[in-house]
C-alpha cells in the first residue's frame, strides 16, 4: 500500500503550521481562526496542537499520523502500529461508536512528553527507524517487537510472515534479537530461527523438530527433502523431512491438509517412497504437541529397527520416554 508522504496529504495540521505565514508553507491563520474552525465543526482536534482540517470519521492512518505529530519529530510508530505500515498486519478497521485500537509510539528516553489519548508510548532508542513519513521502527526492529509481545505459539508464524518476499534475512533478525538485553522467550525465538535456517518451513514443522526430535535426542534429519533424492528424474516435490541414513521420510499434516489433486499428489509421493524402500511416517498437530513424547517413542522404534544405536532422551519430568526406556530395559 502507498502511505502518505506528508501529514498534510491526509489533512493533518499542527498549530505551528496553521499560524505560519503562507510564504513559508503555513496557512496564515490566527489562533482565533483555528478556534472558530473547531467550534463550527470544519476542523477536528486530534490531540493538543494537532488538528484535522475536515469533518467526518477519523481512520487509522489519520490517528497514527496525528499521534506522530503530537509526540514530535523524533517519535516513530512501533510494534503493532509499525507492523501495519510494514505490511505485517492489516489496517485496523474504523469502528464507529467503539474505542479503536491504540496507536503505539516510541520516543527517545530523554524526552518525556505528556500522554495523549488513544496512544501507548514507549521510551526507548529510536535510532533504528525509517525516517520517511510516517516514521516507524525499522523492519527487523518491528518484527522483534511483535515477537516480544506474542505467545510462544505465535513465534513461528510471525517469523515466517516476516521472511516472505525476502524483505529481511534470518541473520538480520537474529542480530536484532541479540541487541535486546531483555526479551521474553528468547530461547524459543532463537530455536525457531535456527530451525527455519535448517530447512523447516511451517509452524507445524518447527514444532515437530523442536518438540519431537530435538527434545528427545532423535536425529534431526533434513528439512524439505526433494523427491528427486529417491532416484527418480528431477522432481520439484518435497517431503517435509527425511532421515536419509535410515531411509525414513516424514510428512506433516496441518490443519489444512491436502485435498483433491493435492491429496493425489501426496499419495504418489508416498507410493514412490515405498517402491524405493523408504518408510514414510505421518504426524499432525496433536502428535507434535500433546502427543510429542509418544511420537518420539514411535520414531525411535522405527529408527532402531533400521540400525539406529542412539538412546531416546526424556524431554522432562513425566515424559513417556522415561517409562518406555524403563520397560525396555
Rounded to whole angstroms, how far apart are CA atoms 107 and 121? Answer: 7
- Quick one: 117 and 23 in the same domain? yes
- 179 found inside a domain: yes
- Answer whether residue 55 shows pLDDT above 80: yes
- 30 found inside a domain: yes
Q: What is the pLDDT of residue 96?
A: 74
Q: Which of 292, 198, 280, 286 is nearest to 247 (CA)?
A: 280
- 155 found inside a domain: yes
- Quick one: 131 and 179 in the same domain? no
Q: How many CB atoms lie within 10 A of CB 320?
A: 18
Beta bridge partners of 106: 76, 122
Looking at 179, 197, 215, which one is the last position of a domain?
197
Could you say which DSSP state residue 213 is in? I
- Whole-structure pTM over 0.95, yes or no? no
Tally of structural domains, the chain: 3
- 273 found inside a domain: yes
What residues make up the domain containing 305? 203-328
Q: Are 226 and 238 a contacting pair, CB within 8 Å?
A: yes
Residue with cell 472558530: 36
- 1 found inside a domain: no
- 2 found inside a domain: no
- Quick one: 193 and 75 in the same domain? no
Give every CB contact of residue 114 below 8 A, 6+ residues apart in sequence: 48
Looking at 173, 197, 221, which one is the last position of a domain?
197
- Answer whether residue 215 shows pLDDT above 80: yes
Could you say which DSSP state residue 237 is in? -
Q: Which of 130, 69, 137 is nearest to 106 (CA)?
A: 137
| Mean pLDDT for the chain overall | 87
Mean pLDDT confidence for 174-189: 89
Could you say which DSSP state residue 166 is in? G
Residue with cell 530523554: 110
Q: Are 251 and 266 a contacting pair, CB within 8 Å?
A: yes
Amino acid at each position: 500500500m502507498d502511505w502518505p508522504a506528508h501529514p498534510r496529504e491526509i489533512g493533518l495540521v499542527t498549530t505551528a503550521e496553521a499560524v505560519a505565514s503562507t510564504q513559508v508553507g503555513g496557512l496564515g491563520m490566527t489562533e482565533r481562526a483555528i478556534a472558530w474552525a473547531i467550534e463550527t465543526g470544519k476542523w477536528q482536534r486530534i490531540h493538543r496542537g494537532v488538528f484535522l482540517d475536515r469533518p467526518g470519521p477519523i481512520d487509522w492512518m489519520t490517528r497514527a499520523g496525528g499521534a506522530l505529530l503530537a509526540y514530535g519529530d523524533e517519535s516513530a510508530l512501533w510494534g503493532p502500529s509499525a507492523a501495519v505500515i510494514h505490511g505485517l498486519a492489516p489496517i485496523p478497521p474504523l469502528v464507529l461508536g467503539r474505542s479503536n485500537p491504540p496507536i503505539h509510539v516510541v520516543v527517545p528516553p530523554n524526552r518525556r512528553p505528556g500522554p495523549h489519548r488513544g496512544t501507548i508510548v514507549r521510551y526507548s532508542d529510536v535510532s533504528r527507524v525509517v525516517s520517511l513519513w510516517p516514521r516507524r521502527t525499522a523492519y527487523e526492529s518491528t518484527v522483534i517487537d511483535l515477537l516480544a509481545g506474542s505467545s510462544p505459539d505465535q513465534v513461528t508464524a510471525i517469523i515466517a510472515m516476516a521472511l516472505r518476499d525476502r524483505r529481511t534475512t534470518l541473520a538480520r533478525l537474529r542480530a536484532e534479537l541479540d541487541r535486546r538485553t531483555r526479551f521474553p522467550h528468547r530461547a524459543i525465538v532463537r530455536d525457531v530461527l535456527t530451525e527455519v535456517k535448517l530447512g523447516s518451513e511451517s509452524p507445524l514443522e518447527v514444532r515437530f523438530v523442536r518438540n519431537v526430535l530435538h527434545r528427545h535426542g532423535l536425529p534431526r534429519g533434513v528439512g524439505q527433502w526433494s523427491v528427486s533424492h529417491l532416484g527418480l528424474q528431477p522432481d520439484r516435490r518435497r517431503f517435509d523431512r527425511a532421515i536419509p541414513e535410515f531411509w525414513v521420510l516424514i510428512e506433516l499434516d496441518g490443519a489444512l491438509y491436502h485435498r483433491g489433486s493435492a491429496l493425489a499428489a501426496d499419495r504418489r509421493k508416498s507410493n514412490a517412497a515405498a517402491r524405493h524402500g523408504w518408510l514414510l511416517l505421518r504426524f499432525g498437530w496433536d502428535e507434535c504437541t500433546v502427543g510429542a513424547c509418544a511420537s518420539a517413542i514411535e520414531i525411535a522404534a522405527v529408527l532402531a529397527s533400521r540400525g539406529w544405536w542412539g538412546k531416546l532422551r526424556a524431554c522432562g519430568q513425566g515424559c513417556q520416554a522415561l517409562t518406555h526406556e524403563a520397560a525396555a530395559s
